Amino acid sequence: MNSIGGYFELELPHGEEYHKNAIRLNTGRNAFEYILRAKAYQKVYLPYYTCDVMLEPIQKLNIQFEFYSIDEFFQPIFDFSIIKDDEVFVYNNYLGICDNQVKEVAAKCKNLIIDNSQAFYSMPLPGVNTFYSPRKFFGIPDGAYLYTE
């Protein structure tokens, strides 16, 4: 058996992009930063179980943040009524299996960012800030897709 190392080989496109209507950026963290800048959020609620790079744009922009817990079904343990107009809640679509939880969170939360880095094939909900990191799925050096208004 041959090892492929820590990355997939470069894959060249054969057809139309899956997220053809999204804004194209170079990284998922820059897509996240794009939303934070555009919406001028002053505080971010992040799950404890998230990638460390999510803190980079928050620290770069000097935005307050607070972690929240999730249960064994990836449901947030959180009181959504505390979110103010200048604050945002980030929910991760873990392993691409949390589409139902995404809908439930979107129904409860007006300021929401969905991190679909692990859910490339999950479509965004209308009006919900959502970003993707296709390099988690394909042999490309970088890239991100962003849906926002």
Predicted pLDDT at 40: 96
Examine residue 143 and state whether it is found in any structural domain, yes or no: yes
Q: How many domains does the chain have?
A: 1
Q: Answer for the pair 106, 88: CB distance below 8 angstroms, yes or no.
A: no
User: Is residue 56, in this structure, part of any structural domain at all?
Assistant: yes
Query: Which strand (E) or helix (H) includes residue 103?
Result: helix 99-108
Task: Tell me the CA end-to-end span of the chain in Å, nearest whole number.
Answer: 47
For 50, the 3-state DSSP assignment is: coil
Q: What is the pLDDT of residue 125?
A: 96
**5 in a domain, yes or no?**
no
Q: Where in the sequence is the domain holding 102, given as residue range(s)?
A: 23-68+82-147
Q: Is residue 11 part of a domain?
A: no
| pTM, 2 dp | 0.87
User: pLDDT tens, 55-73?
Assistant: 999 999 999 999 999 999 9
Q: Which residues of the chain have pLDDT under 50?
A: none
**Residue 36 in domain:** yes
- Predicted confidence (pLDDT) per residue in 29-43, tens digit: 999 999 999 999 999
State the residue for tokens 């999204």: 22
